[in-house]
Amino acid sequence: MECYLDNSATTRCLDSVAEFMIGIMREDYGNPSSLHQKGVQAEGYLRYAKDVIAKSLKADPKEIFFTSGGTESDNLALRGAAYANCRRGRHLITTQIEHPAVLQTMQYLQEQGYEVTYLPVDENGRVRLSDLAQAMRPDTILVSVMHTNNEIGSLQPIAEIGAFLAQEYPDVLFHVDAVQGYGKFRIYPRRLHVDMLSASAHKIHGPKGVGFLYVAQRVKIRPILFGGGQQQNLRSGTENVPGIAGMAKAAEEIGRTLDEDVSRLYALRKMLAEGVQKLSGVHVNGLPGQESAPHVLSVSFEGVRSEVLLHALEERGIYVSAGSACASNHPDTAGSATLRAIGLPKPLLSSTIRFSLSIFTTEEEIRYTLQALYELVPVLRRYTRRR
């Protein structure tokens, strides 16, 4: 049996999405900036995508900008907002558990003369509103807090943060990285007082290499790419029409059954969490139930290195992660920033596995995975002790 439980890294593309994209690449392959019929057809797919994405957010289509994915969306939001508002201030606030696309961008902005405050989180990976309030300064121009943590599934108090900023600091922009949250929750930026929101297609069973950034109409940001002036001069470059249309198709399909799918995911996550805790020396990181994301479960196994367990599971056809797929490209970091931020004991930092589920995950796969863990973990622990 093959069990793909690394859906926070990427998801399997829906068959309907792949077929839709192939049709566009073969038949409606025009450049949307061209004035002839092929161009008009291509532009029609962009309008369709804007309408679908905007509807899912209860936003205006003019507020949707297409990018190459979550990383570019985060960069455009953070750098674009910082550059556009530098005369008003140069202080930015984020958290210690953000995705590298945010953390690395913040570090870059620090090199450009901006000051960044990195908020701590509690033992469950949640930001405290009191810490944010204390960090605010007269020269603060931007707050960026992720919706759903990609490693332990913690949910941030986005509604509370948005309400606080709208009430006390209405000129401060609020960016939310919703790459892991979009498609799992119904997220409405205006209702949450969110000014910018990033998302990525390949986390919702769409294609890789495409995403979007929601930018509220009142928000002014500067482009970070220059060229043909596409997308209201904010994101130049010929649009990836098949990818953008595929992302919209995936969002449309996911949206139809979102509530039922999320309920089923929570049930599968509970089954997995309860199952792994039948083993001794196991720690589930983050909050249980609906206080965390429905698709992410972080588990630390005492006495077993995560890479060893990962490959042992792989031999059984079970695919998991030892942490964020993107963070693995930064080998100089001393373990997961998220796990360190929640105060996980040092021996467990290198003994943590992330299981992440999708709409394709079945009860049979969870049972198969649990049985494999019951057999492998005790053996690997004995091997580790002998060494």
Q: Cite the active site residues.
A: 326
Q: Give the sign of the dihedral formed by CA 168, CA 197, CA 147, CA 46.
A: positive
* Joined tokens for residue 318: 């079970």
11: which residues sit within 8 A by CB, 6+ positions away? 202, 203, 204, 205, 358
Q: Which residues are 143's β-sheet partners?
A: 93, 174
**Sheet of 196-200, strands arranged across:** 64-67, 211-215, 196-200, 173-177, 140-144, 91-95, 115-119
CA distance linking residue 190 with residue 32, whole number of Å = 29
Other CB atoms within 10 Å distance of the CB of residue 218: 8
CB 246, CB 20: distance < 8 Å: yes
* Joined tokens for residue 207: 């294609």
